[in-house]
Amino acid sequence: MPENLISASLSQADREAVMAAIATIREKLPFLIDLTPDDRRTLPKMGDKSRAFVSKALEVAAQNPDILPRSFDVEEMRRDVQLFEALYPVVQALTQLHELVEDTYMEVGSEAYAAALSVYSYAKAGGKVSGLDSVIDDLARRFSRKPPKAQPPV
């Protein structure tokens, strides 16, 4: 069997506590939205390079409101900038946590699948003497391929 990097379990109580913590995060961030893929593609993005630009533009807007149309809401811009800055460390922490959970999930799934392949291989090797034919057939269905569809004559 390949190297086993993860040997752990997650109790029902711990899983429920994690789910409750996630619910608390959602509760504390009631303004979260769900963008469509098209929305994501078309929105102007603010990254690390744009942060200084946005801060300076906010200063210009606050110090020179006369250059802006009356409909421009400097305070709303200020709230957006402040929320962006407040969310930044949250996004960083959640991104790191997401990567760790996803990597662990992928690794433990890989370990379980590799172990299952070993069991299948051992069962095939010893199945004739052990009476495992029906079980081996069930396991073999994972690898069965559908025959390719016949192409209609042209």
**Which position has the higher pLDDT, 134 or 149?**
134
Q: What is the DSSP string of 1-14?
A: -----------HHH
- Taking only the tens place, the pLDDT of each residue in 4-32 is 899 999 999 999 999 999 999 999 999 99
pLDDT in tens, 122-135: 888 876 666 777 88
pLDDT digits (tens, 9 = 90+) for 79-131: 999 999 999 999 999 999 999 999 999 999 999 999 999 988 888 887 666 67
The rounded distance, in Å, linking the Cα atoms of 78 and 46 is: 15
pLDDT of residue 3: 78
pLDDT at 151: 72
Tell me which amino acid residue 110 is.
S
Contact status, residue 115 vs residue 1, Cβ threshold 8 Å: yes
Q: pTM (2 decimals)?
A: 0.76
Q: Which residue has the tokens 């200084």?
A: 52
